[in-house]
Amino acid sequence: MGVGIDDVARRAGVSTATVSRALRGLPEVREETRQRVLRAAAELNYAPSPSASSLASGRTRTIGLLTASFSRWFNRSVVEGAERTLRAAGFDVLLHAFDFLADGTRAPIDMTTLRQRVDGVLVLGIPLSDDERETLDRLGVPVVFVGTGPPDRVRVRTDDAACSRLAIDHLVGLGHTRIAQIGAALPHDERWSAASRRADAAARRLERAGIPADPSLVEHGDYTQAGGREAAARLLERHPDLTALYVYSDEMAFGALEELRGRGLDVPGDVSVIGVDGHELGDLIGLTSVVQDAVGQGESGATLLLEMITGQAVASDVRFPVSLVVRRSTAAARGQEALSADRDPAVTP
């Protein structure tokens, strides 16, 4: 069934080898011959079989996209950017989404399913175990990490230090001293995750402001709204007197807002909340946030991967800038009202 390369060859009056060369745009074909082949292919509505092509060439024109679930804004935004870039370059995208359990763990990823299937792999927001990294390496294809990744690999990420700096300095500038955080529990690779970089940077900024470190002021969520809500509940239980919350993602921050509202606490009257991401609904909800360009990180990661596939040398550590967008969810700590005289007095979202 189906029309094959030799049908085209026969019709164009050339060999299959020439058809293959002409269709792939190789330079050693006379222009007139190429046109003849192109016409014959079009007339027969010919399209090469990807399996046969892969088998013979060893290339697949396919990229594996390993990502944590779309329930997280960052992941789906990165996927959007990466998919678009890869498709524009003629690559297909094989999607592997992984669900994390509530405690931050997940089932181990079986990389062997990708063997011989992809020309490269993009890993989004999933810290991999050493074992997983090793089997990934054994695939023998380029790998790019987006969002979180070991320092010796090609990676694209948010400037996490700047992230925490902007957030903490903003809160400190408003007079807050009882500042709690909602980060992320991650089973693997903790030192190189975005969450741990943010935690480290936050600790430094707090110290710099003369605020003593207190581990009990740090809780962990799973980057979902529900997880953020639960983490906020645990914090408020332990520290009813906290006045500010630095949350590592907008979605977790939304969950925290729900919890605060549920407890009858006013935002920002009683508690200021700042998130990270730049979620589309941040404006409507009035959430102050450190925003980043996630789609751009996807595009960038895809571009790097494509360059590696064509054998180019690439920058190994691309860092994306962040910026602060102040909305209604943060305000001066009690007793510091003067500082915020010019701010919108509107209350909870």
Q: Which residues bind a second copy (CB under 8 A)?
A: 2, 47, 49-52, 54-55, 60, 62, 65, 69-71, 76-77, 79-80, 83-84, 87, 92-97, 99, 112-113, 115-117, 225, 251, 254, 257-258, 261, 280-281, 283-285, 349
Nearest to a second copy of 57, 216 (CB atom): 57
Backbone angles phi, psi at 177, to 5 degrees: -130, -25
The answer for residues whose C-beta is within 8 angstroms of residue 30's C-beta and 6 or more apart is: none
Nearest to DNA of 11, 157 (CB atom): 11
Report the half-sphere exposure of 133 (CA within 13 A, side-chain side). 15
Which residue's entry shows tokens 């293959």?
20
Nearest to a second copy of 105, 316 (CB atom): 105
On whether the CB atoms of residues 233 and 260 are closer than 8 A, the answer is no
Q: Work out whether 187 is an interface residue with DNA (CB under 7 A).
A: no
Nearest to a second copy of 45, 312 (CB atom): 45
Q: Going residue by residue from 20 to 39, which x/- string records binding to DNA, judged by CB under 7 A?
A: xx-xx--xxxx-xxx-----
The entry of DNA, a second copy, none that residue 65 binds, CB within 5 to 8 Å by partner kind: a second copy
Nearest to DNA of 52, 346 (CB atom): 52
DSSP element (H, E) containing 255 = helix 250-262
Best CA proximity match to 105, nearest among 120, 127, 80, 87:
127
- What is the distance between the alpha carbons of residues 240 and 261, in angstroms, rounded to a whole number? 14
Q: Work out whether 6 is an interface residue with DNA (CB under 7 A).
A: yes
Q: Work out whether 62 is an interface residue with DNA (CB under 7 A).
A: no
Minimum CB separation of residue 118 from DNA in Å reads 15
3-state secondary structure of 227: helix
Stretch that binds DNA, among 10-18, 179-187, 282-290, 301-309 (CB under 7 A): 10-18
What does the CA dihedral 335, 339, 341, 344 come to, rounded to 10 degrees?
-100
Q: Work out whether 13 is an interface residue with DNA (CB under 7 A).
A: yes
- What is the distance between the alpha carbons of residues 76 and 223, in angstroms, rounded to a whole number? 13
Q: Work out whether 18 is an interface residue with DNA (CB under 7 A).
A: yes
Q: Work out whether 139 is an interface residue with DNA (CB under 7 A).
A: no
Backbone angles phi, psi at 198, to 5 degrees: -65, -40
Beta bridge partners of residue 219, listed in sequence order = 182
Which stretches of the chain bind DNA, using CB under 7 A?
Answer: 1-2, 4-6, 13-18, 20-21, 23-24, 27-30, 32-34, 46-49, 52-53, 55-59
